Structure 1
């Protein structure tokens, strides 16, 4: 049995580009949720800092996560982030709660 992969991604972009990033993240989320290995793909916007978004992901396996990283929809989002100079921090988490 594979161990699930838990990811928290923080993306920050200039305020004037926040609406574009939000749309790009939502498009990627829609496709990601259809991936077989995707167990969670939740996006949220920072309530206090315009232009900062969080993506919380759970993937059933390392292979499933790597398939996601190679997908066309993730590539489009990564390209948008790079092209528009957004900051990206990806944190691989280890849940402490046994039911996670």
Structure 2
């Protein structure tokens, strides 16, 4: 049977002056999300050429689990905490494995 797990890549660029403050916010999101049923992997990475660009690399069991995550209290709080600190809209790609 095919692997139906979904992956997400979310790129977030933050204002230089907000970077340190947001590290705590990011850490809380990662810790809480890893506890969610349906989350397989949730990793925050940093662009080596731009310290203010962060990339979430996620793996989920299903779209339903992603939907629950996006409605979770910790994700909604995260969105509110970062909104004034971004340099642009986050780029989010939901990916389905081909091979």
TM class by smaller structure: 0.7 to 0.9
Are the equivalent residues in 2 in contact too, given 1:3–1:62 (CA < 8 A)? no
1:87-98 superposed matches below 5 A: 87=88, 88-97=90-99
Normalising by structure 1, we get a TM-score of 0.86
Are the equivalent residues in 2 in contact too, given 1:43–1:55 (CA < 8 A)? yes
Question: What's 2:58 paired with?
Answer: 57
Unmatched runs of 5 consecutive residues or more in structure 2: none
Unmatched runs of 5 consecutive residues or more in structure 1: none
Question: What's 2:18 paired with?
Answer: 17
Are the equivalent residues in 1 in contact too, given 2:47–2:54 (CA < 8 A)? yes
Q: Deviations over 1:67-98 (max 9, x none)?
A: 0000011111111221323431101122233x
- Decide whether aligned partners of structure 1 residues 44 and 75 sit closer, same or farther in structure 2, where only a CA change above 3 A counts: same
Query: Alignment RMSD, CA only?
Result: 1.8
Moved more, 83-92 or 70-79: 83-92
Task: Show structure 1 runs of 4+ deviating over 6 A.
Answer: none
